[in-house]
Structure 1
Amino acid sequence: MTDSEIANGDIAELPETAVPIPPIAGIVLAGGRSRRMGTDKASIQWPDESAEPMLARIVRTVSERCDRVYVVAAQESSAYQLLHGTGGPEAVWVTDEEPGAGPLGGLAAGLAAAAADGFGLGFVCATDMPLIGAGLIDELARGATPSTQAVIAHDDRRDHPMAAIYRTSSAQTVADLVAGGERRMLAVVDALETRRVPVSNSEWLTNVNAPEDLHDLRVS
């Protein structure tokens, strides 16, 4: 299948053989308000009270494949207030996302920060994905081509634009969406040259939005 055959509505079937992975920045979006959870998701201990915060777990996993990890969260956010400067795996905090812009604003800020440091690609995920694995980054990276601006995970139900690799050069396009009032993460699927990759393990894409989600994962 050629690049011209992989339109925004198509699903890419990737070869099983491993290919070298170029330098990739990790971008973890952690500025959410966690309304449904009732407490900041980034600081939840995973998998139990003796473990590390969920954000630290995700940063540690992402750093297995990414040369530098950025955590996007405004200084006013719960994640920054509770976790900045408390130790844990190394990460660069990005605090200049537009207030009230949601994850789309965080994506724009994270991509811009990674681009400024010379990265051409950024793997993006949320702080509420405790089962994420380094293999997800490998599978998405194999889908990156020179003409592709976004490689997003896809399962049998939907697209996952918050489990994706983006070209950092698309930061301005995302920022323009935010400036125009857009707040839907799925808007990037239409705005960018996008390739969808079916992932081999759908558990990587599991997120926790409410206490019952967290309970179900802990007892499963």
Structure 2
Amino acid sequence: MTLNEHKKHAKLARPESGNFGRNEWAIVGGPCTVIKLLADDVIRALSPTYKCAYADTSHNDDITLVPGRLTNGAVLDYTDQINYQQYNFQNPVMPYQLKQQFANADLVLVNGNHQQAKAQVVIIDINKRASLLKRLEQLTNVQLFLLADNSDEVFDFIQEAMPHWQDIPVYRLSDRERIIAFFETNLKLARPVLNGLVLAGGKSQRMGFDKGQVNWHGKPQRYHMADMLKPFCNEVFISCRSGQHGEVDAQYPVLVDTFTGLGPFGAILSAFRERPDNAWLVIACDLPLMDEATLRNLVAWRNSSLTATAYHSPVTDFPEPLIAIWEPKSYPILLSFLAQGYSCPRKVLINTGINLLNAPDPKALTNVNTPEDMEKVKRVLHQKTAAN
């Protein structure tokens, strides 16, 4: 490698995010009060289904006192206000910290008179024409125009700056139903693509041989599970350890663990590292009783606004992390748990907001870890075959 070819940093797939979150719009061009009221109406309508957030800048022109313990030099002042939580920061909040705070939001609305976002909704108001002209360079991805009562057309300077402005929908600012429908439609279209991940990288120490190679249904179990996932997923990958890649049939895409020594936790993180904007239907390869009905039910009840959708395990009485759909918003949460010394995916599910389901047939969640487990499942499968 020559000096010019040297790469200082690892090439990582970065999540598609703006200044605050994945789906963010700056509302710009109207008085701040109008922007606030519009944001209130949209959030009120969508919050029963989506996690909504709002970003603004204080309008108090007076010199304000530093709140709470910050006056004495604290860098952070946290107060549990019972109905909500309040954080006051002494130091400026850095961009990466903002993204962390807004990571759980499905929709972020921003007062574009003070903050910027990767997409914009532009209010056309005669009284704010000069102000909007000054912000013309900030209109990089306009997706909706809203005409105030005093306006009937998009300003000429916007038409000149945006050759395809006529392709952008134009609504009346008073038409709240259409505006709300605009955001709702975009959130539905932004639902993360669902990929499948078959966990087959374990060492099977208790079993004594590779569980993914056991032939329960006419083919090695890892391929059987991958084939079961295909109707429900955009792509399906087999997760394996480094060095196992050559052992997997070439017709099945492989995703090698890059977070090593962490078991399933590392496999899930490795998947997000590869495709951070995709959701992952994660399934262990040692579930010989798994059926299509159980998978179909999981996908049908998927809630992409939550961290994950998982089944309740009647054996552990906890969420089952290895037959679950992990949403992209779980990625920073998993990393946060790892930074605090935890590598248990079940612990993540227990301590975050998830959609917890009961399996149509709890036996489908049965995993096989030992030769004794294997013999029990053989008898169950034999009885099913005999019954049919």
Q: TM-score, normalised by structure 1?
A: 0.76
Q: 1:22, CA displacement in angstroms?
A: 7.8
Find 1:43's aligned residue among 186, 191, 213: 213
Equivalent residue for 2:345?
185
Tell me the distance in 1 between the aligned counterparts of 2:229 and 2:311.
15
Equivalent residue for 1:207?
367
The reply to whether residue 106 of structure 1 matches residue 267 of structure 2 is yes
Q: 1:173, CA displacement in angstroms?
A: 2.0
Equivalent residue for 2:113?
none
Equivalent residue for 1:73?
240
The reply to whether residue 97 of structure 1 matches residue 258 of structure 2 is yes
Equivalent residue for 2:95?
none
Query: Cα 1:148–1:130, aligned 2, differ >3 Å: closer, same or farther?
Result: same
Provide the alpha-carbon RMSD of the alignment: 2.4
Tell me the distance in 2 between the aligned counterparts of 1:144 and 1:156.
20
**Structure 2 unaligned regions, length at least 5:** 1-47, 51-190, 381-388
Find 2:221's aligned residue among 47, 54, 64: 54
Q: Which runs of 4+ in 1 moved over 4 A?
A: none
What whole-Å deviation, never above 9, does each CA across 1:16-74 have from its counterpart, x for those lacking one? Answer: xxxxx984211111111101000111112224xxx311101111111121121122212
Find 1:27's aligned residue among 172, 178, 197: 197
- Match runs of 1:125-136 below 5 Å: 125-136=283-294
Q: 1:109, CA displacement in angstroms?
A: 1.1
Tell me the distance in 1 between the aligned counterparts of 2:192 and 2:290.
20
Query: Cα 1:134–1:113, aligned 2, differ >3 Å: closer, same or farther?
Result: farther
Tell me the distance in 2 between the aligned counterparts of 1:206 and 1:93.
25
Higher relative contact order (CA closer than 8 Å, sequence separation 6+) = 1
Q: 1:3, CA displacement in angstroms?
A: 6.5
Amino acid at match of 1:92: P
Question: 3-state DSSP class of the match of 2:274?
Answer: helix
Q: 1:144, CA displacement in angstroms?
A: 2.6
Amino acid at match of 2:371: P
Say if 2:192 and 2:304, in contact at 8 Å, map to a contact too. Answer: no
Question: 3-state DSSP class of the match of 1:168?
Answer: coil
